Amino acid sequence: MSDDRRYWLVKSEPDVYSLHDLERDGTTYWDGVRNYQARNMMRDDMKTGDLVLYYHSNTNPPGIVGLAKVVQEGYPDPTQFDSNDKHYDPKSKADNPRWYVVDVEFVAHFDQKLDLQGLKEDEALDGMILLRKGNRLSVMPVEEHHFQRVLDLAGYAG
């Protein structure tokens, strides 16, 4: 039911995992998220087919660079159980995992990056979680009218 489709935004540092990396890989699991709010969304709310704005953080300028989509709903993040992994969590137990991932698939690059400054200046995007002061969520919901506005700004026709 398309009425149930939700929209999301994920942040990634391009030096760590860029949209080009996702394009190369096709799909990936969105690992390493260690924030409970973001975890809950991946575990409970992100559904197959949901569209995801792809944001590059810690780069100059930061901004939205393209689109991905959810292709596998929440399951335990394998990196939490791997003691050699940066994201290892010794407190997480296999029978009661603490952290979850979804699988995302590359959809498209936008023709140009929609930089953060420009997004802040667009009145149609007022209230977007991404633009709230102090926001540090790396996975967040996006309202449909904000999502559509971002596609319009990107000149993205699908």
Partner DNA sequence: GCCAACGTTGGC
* Min separation Cβ 79 and DNA, Å: 13
Assess 88 for contact with DNA (CB under 7 A).
no
Q: Rule CB under 7 A: choose which of 27, 40, 48, 58 binds DNA.
A: 58
Q: Rule CB under 7 A: choose which of 60, 83, 84, 96 binds DNA.
A: 60
**For every residue of 89-149, which 3-state class applies, written as one string?**
CCCCECCECCCEEEEEEEEEEEEEEEEHHHHHHCHHHCCCHHHCCCCCCCEEEECHHHHHH
* Min separation Cβ 9 and DNA, Å: 10
Q: Rule CB under 7 A: choose which of 117, 144, 148, 152 binds DNA.
A: 117
x/- string (CB under 7 A) for DNA, residues 12-51? -x--------------------xxxx--------------
Distance CA 30, CA 74 (A): 10
Residue matched to tokens 């009145």: 123
Stretch that binds DNA, among 54-62, 74-82, 103-111, 144-152 (CB under 7 A): 54-62
Rg over CA atoms, the chain: 15
Q: Are strands 63-76 and 100-115 parallel, antiparallel or unpaired?
A: antiparallel
Whether 83 and 89 have beta carbons less than 8 Å apart is answered as no
The residues of the shown chain that bind DNA, judged by CB under 7 A, are 11, 13, 34-37, 57-62, 91, 116-117, 132-138
